[in-house]
A and B are shown apart, each in its own frame.
Chain A
Amino acid sequence: MPMDEKTKTLQEDFEKNFADLELVIGWETGFDRLHATPVFIRQPSELGKLVWNPLCSQNLSGYLAKNLDASIQEDGKKIGICVKGCDSRSLVALIQENFIDRDRLYIVGIPCEGTVDLRRLMHLKPSLENVRKVDIEGDEAVVETDQETLRFPIENVLARKCLRCLYPNPVIYDTMIGTPLKPRISEDKLYSAVEKFDTSDRKQRLAFWKTEFNRCIRCYACRNACPLCVCQDNCIAESRKPKWLTQRDGIREKFLFHMIHGLHLAGRCTECGE
């Protein structure tokens, strides 16, 4: 199904079901057509804002556990949410852990051909402007501007998470927009990066992580963006009681913070790339 048609079907589906919904969380066009941002819709007249395209990379399920009290049902109305394959896995994880009540959600799943990493796109075409549309056609990303139509091989512009995606189709949904897609990689390739990394010796790996973590400024953006990092103000990285970490910005604290972050996500991380 073409992208424009998917957007239309998405809007029509929510229009049809809006009487049962108090809120719809989806994506809208940002400050230009090269950016998509989350949108929160409470009026049916605003449903026309909803879009679906390869720029809709943000995982919206993070808003449910952190920003909205989704587990308390009011007036029997539901929250409508748009999810890609990876996003739907985060939803499942949050449902499993009782952070969200499945019955409270109306999930619209969209099989995803991959999202475009704007940094990669802009590197290939720094002068890119007046974009009308970005779409994926087979193995190419097609960018239409007012002046020209550009085509890029997807391996050059897709986000890393999409290049190693095993679940392009939503694993949980009430309505699916479009038809299911085949994954781009086979299961045995999923952890090829880790396998390659493991071939280096311990000293090399330690040196690598020391260098990388030394760049960390402990801004907690990685924690805040993660849909499964749900402790928020009680995060052990900032908590005084228990006090596991100081607020120092030395390599020891940074290293420990990232190890704690990783361990808190063990068995929970759905690799959504946020």
Chain B
Amino acid sequence: MAFIWPAAVPNAGNEIPTMLIKEKMNQILKDMLDYEAGIDAEAKPPLLTFDPGETGI
């Protein structure tokens, strides 16, 4: 059954709607942790657990 992407913008090409996945992630983050990415440079992102010194990054 065909399903139309609800977020699709008419005539904006034929992109795979990967943004919808990121929007869902952000919605969960907002609901659970009341956090929005990229707003306050001093804030510590709640999911920032990796080591920036990790080889190869």
Contacts and interface: CB of A to CB of B under 8 A. Distances in A.
Interface of A: 88-93, 95-99, 102, 117, 119-120, 123-124, 156, 159-161, 163, 167, 171-172, 191, 193-194, 196-197, 200, 204-205, 207-208, 211-213, 215-216, 222, 230-231, 233-234, 258-259, 261-263, 265-271, 273
B44 A231 contact: no
B18 A269 contact: no
B22 A265 contact: yes
A267 B16 contact: no
Given A191-B27, A262-B25, A267-B35, 18 more contacts: A89-B38, A96-B48, A159-B9, A159-B12, A160-B7, A160-B9, A160-B12, A193-B20, A196-B6, A204-B1, A205-B3, A208-B3, A212-B16, A261-B21, A262-B21, A267-B29, A269-B26, A270-B37
Contacts of A233: 56
B48 A99 contact: no
A212 B17 contact: yes
Interface of B: 1, 3, 5-7, 9-14, 16-27, 29-30, 33, 35, 37-41, 43-48, 52, 56-57
A96 B37 CA distance: 10
Given A89-B39, A267-B29, A207 B24 contact: no
Contacts of B16: 212-213, 215-216, 222, 258
A55 B24 CA distance: 28
Interface of B is mostly: loop
A197 B20 contact: yes
30 contacts: A93-B37, A93-B45, A96-B41, A97-B45, A120-B12, A156-B10, A160-B12, A160-B19, A191-B30, A193-B6, A193-B7, A194-B20, A194-B23, A196-B7, A197-B7, A204-B1, A208-B5, A211-B3, A212-B5, A233-B56, A258-B21, A261-B21, A262-B22, A262-B25, A267-B37, A267-B47, A269-B26, A270-B37, A271-B26, A273-B19
A161 B7 CA distance: 10
Which are the 7 A-B pairs with shortest beta-carbon distances?
A89-B38, A193-B7, A267-B47, A123-B11, A262-B21, A270-B38, A234-B56
B40 A92 contact: yes
